[in-house]
Amino acid sequence: MKNVIITTSDEKYGHFLIDHWLKSLLDNVNTKNLDIVVLDYGLSQEQIRILKEKKVIVYKCVRDGFPNSTKFRDMKRFLEKRKYDQVLTCDGGDIIFQDDISPIFKNKSGSFRAVYEKIRVPFEVLIERNFDRNEGSKIHDLLGGKKLVNAGLIIGPRKKFIELCYFCDQLMKNKSYGPDQIAINYFLLNGQKLDALDQKYNFIILFNHQNFYIKDGIFYLKNGKKIPIVHNAGWKPFLRPINNFGYGPDRNKLKIEFPLLEGYIKFLSFISKIIALFGKKLKKRA
């Protein structure tokens, strides 16, 4: 049975999707047993034409929220009509592939797989405006003090993935930027079978500054091996540590201010811990 990789895009990010995300995927990943699906939230007709020429399944969606939050509804709708073994969803605007990723599709335990964040970020600030109050309280209780997974890449069996999609879609009352990270963690860390992926399969540059180098536009681990999946994550442009990120020898320049970014992230992590501790104390008084 085939596996599937699903991402989202619109016209703004369609250029990166085609010239970097997709090109790197087709150049480096064995796609013989893999469908590639793009959830279309406003791609241009030219972008759709190019994607279809490259045998990509373009699935038209209604844009009535932030794509990374509304995608659960649309992934569920897509997956319910098709049979797959494993489902992988990942970001389409800040990820490139540099090596084959077949090993992460081979899983017999029926578990989800994801990369754990190295640094705790203050998720609490997103709860109040995006979730029901009662559910928000439960989210605080469950996720407080736990290591979270990065929602930029998740893989799991189709049937369980449909359950995840339904859960996340129903849980988020506001489909804005950010709550998808919380919803996914709330589902995965609430009794689901979850295996940690090696960091190289969702290599978040911002949190791994000492563990890689760049040569001719290619990211390598310190041992000289290519990093299979590179993620130039950062919720604001100034936090993304690579300039001209993409796939090609002329791309990927490390920002001069990267050490300052690392300090900023550590500061955020410290603030997050304070928020979590303060929240617990308030709850005990209530």
User: What letter would DSSP give residue 103?
Assistant: G
Domain boundaries, the chain: 3-199
Q: 204 has which bridge partners? A: 231
Task: Pick the closest to residue 187 from 148, 152, 159 (CA basis).
Answer: 148
* CB environment 210-224: b (16+ within 10 A), e (fewer): eebeeeebbbebeee
State the pLDDT at residue 93.
Answer: 94
Residues 6+ apart with CB under 8 A from 88: 3, 4, 5, 6, 104, 105, 153, 154, 155
Length of the chain: 286
State the pLDDT at residue 286.
Answer: 36
Task: Pick the closest to residue 253 from 206, 217, 205, 199 (CA basis).
Answer: 217
User: Which CATH code is given to the segment(s) 3-199?
Assistant: 3.90.550.10
Spatial distance between the Cα atoms of 17 and 3, rounded to a whole number of angstroms: 20
Alpha-carbon distances, residue 165 vs 129, 183, 206, 239 (angstroms): 20, 10, 28, 29
- 3-class DSSP assignment, residue 55: coil
pTM of the predicted model as reported, rounded to 2 decimal places: 0.89
Output the CA torsion sign for 223, 224, 229, 233. positive
State the pLDDT at residue 156.
Answer: 96
**Mean pLDDT, the chain cut into blocks of 10 residues (286 residues total):** 97 97 98 97 98 98 93 97 96 96 86 89 73 84 84 96 96 86 92 92 86 94 96 76 94 75 61 53 39
Q: What tokens appear for 116 in the block? A: 């754990």
